Amino acid sequence: MTDAVLGIIGGSGIYDLPGLEDSQWIEVSSPWGAPSDAVRIGRINGLKIVFLPRHGRGHVYSPSTINYRANIDVMKRCGVTDLLSVSACGSLKEQHEPGMFVLVDQFIDRTIAREKSFFGSGCVAHVSMATPVSPKLVDAVAAAAEAEGLKYHKGGTYLAMEGPQFSSLAESELYRSWGCDVIGMTNMPEAKLAREAEICYATVAMVTDYDSWHPDHGEVDIQAIIKVLHDNAENAQRLVGRVARDFPKNHQSCPAGSDTALEFAMMTAADKRDPALLAKLDAVAGRILSKAG
């Protein structure tokens, strides 16, 4: 049975995880380019933790300039089996108030300027995104939120917009008409790439504001968002720390097939595959490529 390794991609507020021991920052190179930063590797209650700041320390990269492929590839190279994404977002529903955590289970991708796949000409693959998050990982986060007495909602749709500007009132109302729960700029193509890399994935969406639709809150207030982020940092630390402390030491197979997503996804015949692309896929698709070889 495979040892579980919990990866965390996030930003300000969770650099210092409660109980993280023997931690160090390590540079990990990727054939897909430079990741956002070095990774911080340590252990919580014996469980290996790999943390990557999505925007880089000091918030260097905008949502559109993050190298999502390199970030996920680096996580895979570090042995991550389960990946928890923590990201700030706006609320598109009254009940998801600022300060709440929404554990989303669906995504709508409206980004347009990002590389969204490890595969392409020379090695074509199509993975299913019908169930984009790992149910067991979501259950673990929900149990941790309950144990810590945190306000959360399980389930919902995350609308991923390109940014970096916030949405107009018309856009906000459109996304509400689609039934979306929260809106953010960073979970796509992150979730798609995690699926291609056969990493179990889940999102903790930290609500910072009501986007621009709410009649009592008006347009997005950056200062208010930053205040909520700072106020909620301790809760985010507690949540992630509790997930890690209670997480199973052995990786459990995903009922949604996250950890076997490539099993029947690769379409290009073995003798037609581009060796240069295959070399870059050594970590992401290593399990399936080793079977083919």
Annotated binding site for phosphate: 12, 54-55, 87-88, 186
Q: Are 293 and 282 in contact (CB under 8 A)?
A: no
Binding region for substrate: 185, 209-211
d(CA 187, CA 170): 22
Encoded amino acid at 127, one letter? V
Q: Please identify which of the residues 211, 231, 246, 259 carries the catalytic annotation.
A: 211
22 is catalytic: no
209 is catalytic: yes
d(CA 53, CA 42): 15
Tokens at 159, concatenated: 């609308």
Q: Are 258 and 198 in contact (CB under 8 A)?
A: yes
Q: Are 183 and 92 in contact (CB under 8 A)?
A: yes
Residue 128: name the closest of 8, 256, 29, 273 by CA. Answer: 256
Q: Please identify which of the residues 181, 209, 221, 231 carries the catalytic annotation.
A: 209
Binding region: 12, 54-55, 87-88, 185-186, 209-211
Map residue 284 onto helix, strand or coil: coil
Catalytic positions: 209, 211
